[in-house]
Copies of this chain bind each other. A is one copy, B any other.
Amino acid sequence: MRIAFLGLGIMGKPMAQNLVKAGHEVKVWNRSSGKSVDGAHSASSPKEAARDAEIVWLCVSDTKAVEEVLFGDDGVIGSLKAGAIVVDSSTILPDASLKFAERVRKNGADFVDAPVTGSKVGAESGQLIFIVGARAETFEKLQPLFSVMGKSAVRVGANGKGLAAKLSMNLMIALTYEGFAEALVLAKKQGVEVKPLMSLINQSMVRSGVVDYKAPFVMARDFSANFPMRLMHKDIRLMLEAARQNGVKLPGLETVDKVYESSAREGNANLDYAATLMTLEKAAGVS
């Protein structure tokens, strides 16, 4: 297929690369120049990239960037073909995405929110999970592309629902890790030996994918960014804004937001979100 891929960040670049490898005709564009994808044509604007594209795939940083890429000067909308599908894998506010979908539809194209879960490694190895808000028939049309970039794609409802589900899942990550971090501080301050504690965690129902993934880094005191705290914090703010818009109270998440604020003030924003542990440790006088 003829695909425009807009946004060559940590996730976008390997996703576009996997589309090229699968034999698709890919045009790429990135806001800052100097990024490219082997075998893909580099376009000078979203508008140029989207010209003649059957699929326009976005993976950019925030709501404002999506709006700019779609509707700004030289934006996608200036060249978008009727019948094309715009797929947005950025993590933005569901409500904003819904409005973008409506604007795109008025131009005779369709729109899909398809945020992903899975790290940079998952993007490189084509093992992402797509969390999709779309019309059922549009979702079906995209399956061959999802399968090139991911191990799975699940449709959770109409437009905006993919993002709502993605944010809810990241909420679970934030609270599950907070539980691990608070437990670790409480145990260590009382003199519990951490190695046997980790063994207990691993063989009991408190085990989780989040702890499985983060614990080895935490034990090695390696807080270098895998999922940077500032990005998780950005997602937490999106969750809280979506909650506010929908009249939902999230007391646990509100508290975790404050932990992230404290941790950012301590200079940890560019570390992994796991470094929120250091903020709890500092307050308790343990390390």
Contacts and interface: CB of A to CB of B under 8 A. Distances in A.
Contacts of A204: 117-118, 129, 169, 209
- Copies of this protein chain in the complex: 2
Nearest to A209: B205
A210 B200 contact: no
A258 interface: yes
Question: Which of A169, A211, A212, A285 counts the most chain B CB atoms within 10 A?
Answer: A169
Question: Which of A152, A172, A193, A254 counts the most chain B CB atoms within 10 A?
Answer: A172
Q: Give the size category of A's interface with B.
A: 35 or more
Contacts of A118: 204
A186 interface: yes
A186 B248 contact: yes
A157 B253 CA distance: 33
B250 A161 contact: no
Interface string A167-207: 11101111110111011111101111100110111011111
Interface in A240-254: 242-243, 246-254
Interface in A139-179: 152, 154-158, 160-161, 164-165, 167-169, 171-176, 178-179
B256 A252 contact: yes
Name A's interface SS: helix
A131 interface: yes
Given A167-B186, A205-B213, A131 B249 contact: no
A208 interface: yes
Contacts of A94: 190
A206 B209 CA distance: 6
A251 B243 contact: no
Nearest to A162: B192
Contacts of A239: 186
10 contacts: A129-B204, A156-B200, A157-B193, A164-B192, A171-B183, A179-B179, A182-B253, A190-B246, A249-B280, A252-B252
Interface of A: 94, 117-118, 129, 131, 152, 154-158, 160-161, 164-165, 167-169, 171-176, 178-180, 182-187, 189-193, 196-197, 199-201, 203-213, 239, 242-243, 246-256, 258-259, 280, 283-286
